[in-house]
Structure 1
Amino acid sequence: MWWILIVIGIIALIIVGFLIGDQPNRKEILNLTFDNQVFGELQDGVYQGEFVGEKGHLRDTVVEITVKEGKVAEFKIIKGAINKEGEDIKLTKGQTVSNLFNECLKAQSFDVDVISGATVTSKAHLKALELALKKARKNQ
């Protein structure tokens, strides 16, 4: 009986330690700002944006965009909320980062609702998308 309590206690300590250790990274990402000026004339080509956290690397993200005729024709998550096969991971309520990107590109703005329950993941991916769009801007 006591060993069950000990195991539960150890698991609880591991979870608390992880949450405390991830706080600086979470805070950094939650404070990210976005530049809506990146939406505009884009130069055709393939561009990668990479978000690398300064406080931790748990949510480092790489996004690739393909621009055709001045618009984003395709995007791909290279590193982040994807499984081993490169497919989107379903987050809260079945939403994916690709759903978020589609909303963002449709609105031509980063002022979109992030995925509830996955705010930190959403913002890290949006920052990588922004960095890819900055590279694609004409007359940078």
Structure 2
Amino acid sequence: MSKKKKILLWILGLLVVAFISFQIVIGRIEQNLSGLEALPLADIDLEQAQDGVYIGSYAAFPVEAEVEVEIENHKIVSVTLLEHRHGQGANAEILTEVVVQAQSLDVDQVAGATYSSKVILKAIEDALLKASN
């Protein structure tokens, strides 16, 4: 076999491996995000929340969020986004302010940033559940 044919076979083999790897990654992303929109949020009773600062996080590859929630006198005083890995979901970061204003997780998600919206809300939910236990 000539050197050119060997090189072409190697390149073809690498392309096949790259294609299969790409399909696996895309499949994993679709699987993780497919049920995210319908995922329910807990109904948090802020009267049960203890004063303090609580860290919450949630991840649905490739979107992740970590928040810090401050509770004082059974009210959400602040929500700080510590980390947010996202694709096109940066607009969802406004939800930290919206949740403080609404004093609830029952807020509208940001159009065009639905996955990030849900992940940020689930991270806030995680922190609020810690505050209520």
Deviation of residue 63 (structure 1)? 1.0
Q: Which residue of 1 aligns with 2:55?
A: 48
Distance in 2 between the 1:117 and 1:81 partners? 15
Q: Which residue of 2 aligns with 1:76?
A: 80
Distance in 1 between the 2:108 and 2:85 partners? 17
Whose radius of gyration is greater, 1 or 2?
A: 2
Q: Which residue of 2 aligns with 1:61?
A: 65
Structure 2: where are the runs of 5+ without partners? 1-14
2:119 to 101, 120, 124: 124
Q: Which residue of 1 aligns with 2:44?
A: 37
Does residue 133 (structure 1) correspond to residue 122 (structure 2)? The answer is no
Deviation string, structure 1 residues 51-84 (Cα, Å, up to 9, x no partner): 133xxx31122111122233222221122158xx
Identify the structure with the greater strand proportion.
2
Q: Which residue of 2 aligns with 1:85?
A: none
The alignment-based identity, stated in percent, is 28
Aligned residues: 113
Distance in 2 between the 1:90 and 1:52 partners? 14
TM-score (structure 2 length as normaliser): 0.68
Distance in 1 between the 2:80 and 2:103 partners? 18
